[in-house]
Homo-oligomer: A and B are copies of this chain.
């Protein structure tokens, strides 16, 4: 049988794990400085927890688990007879794989509301599954990394999340631009242009400004039936490069501006390492956001957004818990990995990797090698022993392939003298040292 891996899934080799952990650990350590707490939810959820939460298209992309045992015994007879696959699903599948981290988080908050303190600041780094068609850079199994606060409407958290974006990307060495807007500002721009009830249509059009330019957006607005006067007013607003320039004849618009100003006030004289800029064209899709929205782009790699988020009014309403406002951002871990690779930003020294390997000429020196290894490891030096007295060339090849920086070859002289030739594989130099000196050198 030829071994195969499913399309859209990946094995991770040690080198890749090291790099992925580098990203996750960097993100985690910043989260923790702000008092965010880790949680984890199961991979499998009740299918009815997931169904209907991601739109019709999302429901199709959910991975569903077949009930165990004689599932046909309880299958919907009518759906079976009509060969109606989607109608059959509820009777043969009660479990699905997590599609994102937001819906499980909402379920978690409602179920554990008496075990947690509000405002609840949590982060979650776990894989999710989507039955998308696999293609380059798009997987069926991939990691999401979310950080949210629920149970507070304070704009302090918007300020904290901007600082977190800035710090994480600074730590990773990725220069980014953090674009900020507010859904209420978008609504205000529409109201100001006399098309308050069609702000979604407007938003869809101006969201494309980067791709189709001003003429394209003007065309689209005109096709949607907006007057030239409305369009002109819209462009006047979205051409504003700062919050101060924006002057909207709209109450909700002014509220959005006031919110952005308050975030600014929380930041005081804090200087960001990366560019943070107000961008009235930022829309962040049509999702559930109701206030602040944010998106992060890498300055030096064209790859789309590597982070995004915003404030939502009602995370948990679908689970029967009202008025649970929250704000959160996510990190596009898979894309961040690709950016780091492209810009060669991963550290080259893996501190966790093996530091030294002991090679031997015969059984006796192999036994001695293990005694030496016990001592080196007791000083927390990651040590390997080549497991047999194979040809020295073969042993050296292993040391080279594994990129182990130090090698000691043990023979009868070394055993009697208690001095060992410590070879630095980078420089090629060998120093003859006692065990104590070797430990000193390597720690």
Query: Is B11 a contact partner of A141 (Cβ separation < 8 A)?
Result: no
Query: Is A10 a contact partner of B42 (Cβ separation < 8 A)?
Result: yes
Query: Is the CB of A354 closer than 8 A to any CB of chain B?
Result: yes
Residue of B nearest to A123 (CB): B14
Identical chains bound together, number: 2
Query: Is B127 a contact partner of A6 (Cβ separation < 8 A)?
Result: no
Query: Is the CB of A55 closer than 8 A to any CB of chain B?
Result: no
With A49-B3, A366-B156, A371-B270 already in contact, the answer to whether A33 and B387 are too (CB < 8 A) is: no
CA–CA, A382 to B37, complex, Å?
Answer: 11
- Which chain A residues numbered 85 to 102 have a C-beta less than 8 Å away from chain B? 85, 88-89, 92-93, 95, 97
CA–CA, A61 to B319, complex, Å?
Answer: 31
Neighbour of A40 across the interface among B12, B97, B108, B371, CB < 8 A? B12
Residue of B nearest to A130 (CB): B68
Q: How far is the CB of A16 from the nearest CB of chain B, in Å?
A: 8
Query: Is B370 a contact partner of A13 (Cβ separation < 8 A)?
Result: no
CA–CA, A183 to B105, complex, Å?
Answer: 48
Query: Is B68 a contact partner of A65 (Cβ separation < 8 A)?
Result: no
**Which residues of the partner chain B approach A149 to less than 8 Å between Cβ atoms?**
387
Query: Is A35 a contact partner of B383 (Cβ separation < 8 A)?
Result: yes
**Which residues of the partner chain B approach A37 to less than 8 Å between Cβ atoms?**
14, 17, 353
**Which residues of the partner chain B approach A286 to less than 8 Å between Cβ atoms?**
none
**Which residues of the partner chain B approach A65 to less than 8 Å between Cβ atoms?**
63-66, 97
Query: Is the CB of A69 closer than 8 A to any CB of chain B?
Result: yes
With A33-B380, A387-B156 already in contact, the answer to whether A95 and B370 are too (CB < 8 A) is: no
Q: How far is the CB of A43 from the nearest CB of chain B, in Å?
A: 6
Q: How far is the CB of A181 from the nearest CB of chain B, in Å?
A: 22
CA–CA, A352 to B377, complex, Å?
Answer: 27
Query: Is A39 a contact partner of B14 (Cβ separation < 8 A)?
Result: yes
Q: How far is the CB of A391 from the nearest CB of chain B, in Å?
A: 15
Q: Can you identify 10 A-B contacts, CB atoms within 8 angstroms?
A: A11-B41, A17-B37, A60-B69, A72-B80, A117-B401, A119-B387, A154-B387, A265-B367, A268-B367, A269-B371
3 residue pairs, one from A and one from B, having the closest CB atoms: A154-B387, A9-B42, A14-B37
